[in-house]
Chains A and B, each alone.
Chain A
Amino acid sequence: MSDRTTIILLLLPALLVIGVLFFGGLLIGVMRSFNYMPVIGLTTPNLDAYAAVFADPEFYWSFLLTFHIAFTSTVISAVIAIAAALLLRRSFVGRGLISFLFQLNLTVPHLVGAIGILYLFSQSGSFARLAAEMGLITRPGDFPAMVFDPYAIGIILQYIWKEVPFIGVIVLANMQSIGHDYEAVARSLGASRWQAFRHVLLPLIFPGVLSASVMVFAFTFGAYEIPAVLGANYPATLPVLAYRSYTDVDLAARPEAMAMAVVIAVLSAIMIAIYIRATRRGIRS
């Protein structure tokens, strides 16, 4: 058996499964979004679904909200994760505990985190009770809305809770393989503590931070269950909106749901392109 045949045989099952399920699913979605379904007699593709989606103001609010959630969560998570990794790479009391909690947090499903945030930050949640105890509020309604709110604070908090450990673990591993010597060189060449971080460590970990952040952005942009638990009804995030349209009693809404799914897919495709460039750069340096 030649090498080429071996490689093809080894890869075939995986490519088949991913090709049929993932790319097949994607393709069917795209076709249906264009109202093109030869099986049921729709043979002339059109843009009706997209026209309907783009004519609906809710779609724009939804897109903006989803982008705001993904962008804000990713940036805040990445910044805190870098700081946490800086903290965790030096020895101090409690480092072992934090590392363990980071890892524990990685295994907790997002849905559980979302419910936890709900019970903490809702208007009758733990923090509202604490505020009442301190005499700051008298009724639940006095507590600022942090879940089901238009700014999606609760959703962002839950993403920060989950993604800081995710990015943090990757950045920490990155920092550990870089070691302290590059910064030592910079310090001995006259860089201050901050300059050594800014001009030496940060550029070295940047590819890792970027690729982890891209994964986080794509995930937070397309996740369903977290905004479903913590989000407001209007505007809902794009995945929630897509799911709602798809399960609408009116089957005519399905192509619109597919069109929204395509929007989500296109955005994540852009993310993949950035991810690949980031990892390439990472490998080269």
Chain B
Amino acid sequence: MQREPLAIRSIQVISGLVLIVWLVLPLIPLAIWSFARGWRFPSLLPQAWSLKAWEYTLSDTAGVLDSLWLTIWIAVCATLLSILIGVPAGRALGMHKFRGKALVEMIILAPVIVPGIAVALGIHSVFIGLGLTNTVIGVVLVHLIPTLPYMTLVMAGIFANYDPAFEQQARSLGASPLRTFWHVTLPAIMPGIIVGGLFAFLVSWSQYVLTLLIGGGRVVTLPLLLFNFVSSGRNDITGAIAMIYILPGVLILILTARQLSGRSGAVGGFGRL
């Protein structure tokens, strides 16, 4: 394209700068609070700095670490189950045409769009009868509602670009179905499983209201703890937990930056984080 007039170029530069500032702005007070010791109105910066909030957060007595491990454990379980169930379903949707496919897609897509609270109340009253409320298993199960559709849709995209001729070639060379899957299919879809899995992990990692309802306040994951501290006005500890809480996302971003470009369709699930 032709070079823009100066006015348009300067508008671009200015709006770029505003965008950059706006995107990082909400994270700044959180980071500052985690190192603050007393930060009363109207000081622009804390009167004193300290590591107290971090010491507390990382101590054994505060329960933050327990909560961290619990959150990781739940997210890992939900992710693995989603992979186990979502990969076959993704294969069916990505590689096959069949009657009722649009309906199946809609069924799988529905939980991505319908808010969790709309179904969580009903699930809760069923889980009471099954003894699954206030348990980790119950929370893992309910986390499947957002993670499984997500994993399935990512895998459907992967399988849509996968050529089944490789499998037929392997079979004609004498490989059993199981060996074909292990040596041909799995290596081909592995990058998709890893990326989809990491994002499914993040989806579970970010759940709040499903954990709150089904866990009944007994299964205290990191976001529940974060909510408690923000409600009780402990801004310094809130800041520290928030920093810990966004860490996996940053790590996963660095690992998979190329996959997040939006073209992969993987982004779809992030609206719900």
Contacts and interface: CB of A to CB of B under 8 A. Distances in A.
B43 A129 contact: yes
A115 B229 CA distance: 11
B52 interface: no
A15 B114 contact: no
A161 B119 contact: no
B116 to A, nearest CB: 7
B245 to A, nearest CB: 6
Contacts of A218: 113-115
A240 B239 CA distance: 24
Contact of B96 (A7, A132, A222, A264): A7
Interface in A210-255: 212, 214-216, 218-219, 221-225, 228-229, 239, 242-243, 246, 254
A contact residues, range:
35 or more
Interface residues of B, number: 93
Contacts of A116: 25-30, 242
A137 to B, nearest CB: 8
B256 to A, nearest CB: 9
Contact of B206 (A84, A94, A109, A163): A109
Interface string B245-259: 110011011000100
B110 interface: yes
Nearest to A172: B262
Interface string A87-102: 1001011110110111
A161 B148 contact: no
Contacts of A15: 89, 104, 107-108
B59 interface: no
A116 B141 CA distance: 30
A132 B42 contact: yes
B227 A13 contact: no
A118 interface: yes
Interface string B151-183: 010000000000000000000000000000000
Contacts of A14: 85-86, 88-89, 108, 148, 152
A144 interface: no
A173 B121 contact: no
B113 A271 contact: yes
A83 B33 CA distance: 33
A184 B2 CA distance: 10
A264 B107 CA distance: 18
B148 A239 contact: no
Given A108-B249, A120-B29, A169 B121 contact: no
A103 B255 CA distance: 12
B24 interface: yes
B263 to A, nearest CB: 4
Given A115-B238, A222-B114, A92 B144 contact: no
Contacts of A108: 27, 246, 249, 273
B58 interface: no
Interface string B204-240: 0110110011000000000100110010000100100
A265 B119 contact: yes
Interface string B182-209: 0000000000000000000010011011
Contact of B250 (A26, A93, A104): A104
8 contacts: A7-B92, A26-B114, A84-B19, A92-B12, A107-B246, A107-B249, A132-B41, A268-B115
Interface of B: 1, 12-13, 15-17, 19-20, 22-30, 33, 41-44, 84-86, 88-89, 91-93, 96, 98, 104, 106-126, 129, 141-142, 144-145, 148-149, 152, 202, 205-206, 208-209, 212-213, 223, 226-227, 230, 235, 238, 242, 245-246, 249-250, 252-253, 257, 260-263, 267-268, 270-273
Interface of A: 3-4, 6-7, 9-11, 13-15, 17-19, 21-30, 32, 39, 83-84, 87, 90, 92-95, 97-98, 100-113, 115-120, 124-126, 128-130, 132-133, 140, 158, 161-163, 165-166, 169-170, 172-174, 176-177, 180, 184, 212, 214-216, 218-219, 221-225, 228-229, 239, 242-243, 246, 254, 257-258, 261-262, 264-265, 268-269, 271-272, 275-276
Closest 4 CB pairs of A and B: A222-B115, A116-B26, A107-B249, A29-B122
